[in-house]
Amino acid sequence: MAIELDDLRRYAVSRTFFTPTTLPRAIARLGFVQADPLRAPARAQDLTLRHRVRDYRAGDLERRYPRLEVEEDFFINYGFLPRGMHALLHPRTARTIWPQAQQRRAQAVLDFVRERGVVHPRDVDAQFQHGATRNWFGGTSRASTQLLDAMHYRGWLRVARREGGTRCYALREMPPFVGDPEHALDQLVDVLVAKYAPLPSPSLGTLCSLLAAAAPQWRALRGAAQARARARLARARVDGVDWFWPADERPASPRHAPADVVRLLAPFDPLVWDRRRFELLWGWAYRFEAYTPAPKRLRGHYALPLLWRDQVIGWGNLAWRDEVLYADIGHVAGKAPSDPLFRRALDDELARIERFLQPR
């Protein structure tokens, strides 16, 4: 069956917005959920999960995290992963070898965490007074916080819970990896494809390259893993671009017909994250502008892409103040669709967001 861009667009929307389910099942279905600390009007992980979890409220993931079979960690970006998948990433062999002084500091912190059970970064800072250091974006942060982050990445610590959004750490006991690295990499690639399909060929390559940070111990095996993926996945050439998706799925199936639904999406939602794919499917460039100087922003500090049926036609900037939702909606075409169903669907979406933001 011939595949057209309209088919890929409908397929991309249909497969990512599965029937809302429980929180553990939604995380397992997604493979991982990207996290972001900004709250506008809620954190990215909550904005992503609200479309996919029944009666989800902002903060549910953080509240329930200690009881879930989920780990916070770095994959191709930072987020939440099912423990079975998380085990495929460790033990990591970090590319940077610490000098002896840093190793001694890390060992002292490790002993401190072992003694306390769970520690807040301020406890570590008070105990060791590591001082301040320059962070990756040019500012300053506590050296203890950076050390804890690095120990977490190396697999020495795990996030036990959060307090007011701050990660609290406990020891992580990771058994040695005894499986087949190639099989593990294939599983990781399949998670990425399942989350972001259909994928244009360059995006598949980008995702495979990002596994270098997720599993640096297997950097040299990524090229072969990408070649195996290209061989086992279904593919089609559409408008001069090769697209890939799981072999047992059918993009042109009539079951992917769009519904009369409006969704405001997180900037890192699976439908939005791949900016290359976004432009191919919807014909305009979406950019995350939270760190762009205000005079240079085109769409707003935390513009949420607006999906209507199977088209991303605009964006919304939302604010939640005194339990009132304020929405500023923009449209790529310069005006809203004339279809009266759109206005009703947008009102329904804003009502869903108001409920999502209400505390339990």
Report the pLDDT value the prediction gives residue 1, as an integer from 0 to 100: 66
- For the segment 263-293, what is each residue's pLDDT rounded down to a tens digit? 999 999 999 999 999 999 999 999 999 999 9
pLDDT at residue 360 greater than cutoff 90: no
81-102: pLDDT as tens digits: 999 999 999 999 888 889 999 9
What is the spatial distance between Cα 356 and Cα 360, in angstroms, rounded to a whole number? 9
DSSP 155-208: TSEEEEEEETTEEEEEE---PPP-S-HHHHHHHHHHHHHHHH-SEEHHHHHHHH
What is the residue-wise DSSP string for 22-63? Answer: -HHHHHHHHS-EE--S--SSS-HHHHHHTTTBTT--TTHHHH
* Percent helix, percent strand, percent coil in the chain, to nearest 5: 45, 20, 35
Q: Does 141 have pLDDT greater than 70?
A: no
User: What is the total count of domains within the chain?
Assistant: 2
Separation CA 226–CA 248 (nearest Å):
19
Domain that holds residue 120: 100-171
- Residue 265: inside a domain, yes or no? yes
pLDDT tens track for 303-324: 999 999 999 999 999 999 999 9
In a domain, 236, yes or no: no
What pLDDT score was predicted for residue 205? Answer: 98
3-class DSSP state of 241? strand
Assess whether pLDDT exceeds 60 at residue 119: yes
In this prediction, residues 329-340 reach a mean pLDDT of 96
Q: Supply φ then ψ for residue 243, to 5 degrees.
A: -115, 145
Q: Which band of pLDDT confidence, cut at 50, 70 and 90, is reported for residue 230?
A: very high
Cα(314)–Cα(319) distance, integer angstroms: 17
C-alpha to C-alpha distance for 234 and 230, rounded to whole angstroms: 8
Give yes or no for residue 105 having a pLDDT over 80: yes
pLDDT for 157-187, tens place per residue?
999 999 988 999 999 987 888 889 999 999 9
Query: 171, 200, 229: which is the final residue of a domain?
Result: 171
User: For residue 112, what is the domain's CATH number?
Assistant: 1.10.10
| End residue of a domain, out of 138, 171, 204 | 171
Q: What is the pLDDT of residue 142?
A: 79
The answer to whether position 276 is within a domain reads: yes
Q: Last residue of some domain: 154, 171, 188?
A: 171
With respect to residue 282, please indicate whether it lies within any of the assigned structural domains. yes
Instruction: Please report the pLDDT score of residue 135 as a whole number.
Output: 59
What whole-number distance in Å separates Cα of residue 117 and Cα of residue 182?
35
Report if pTM > 0.85.
yes
How far is the C-alpha of 32 from the C-alpha of 12, rounded, in Å? 17
Taking all residues of the chain, what is their mean pLDDT, rounded to a whole number? 94
Q: What's residue 355's pLDDT?
A: 97
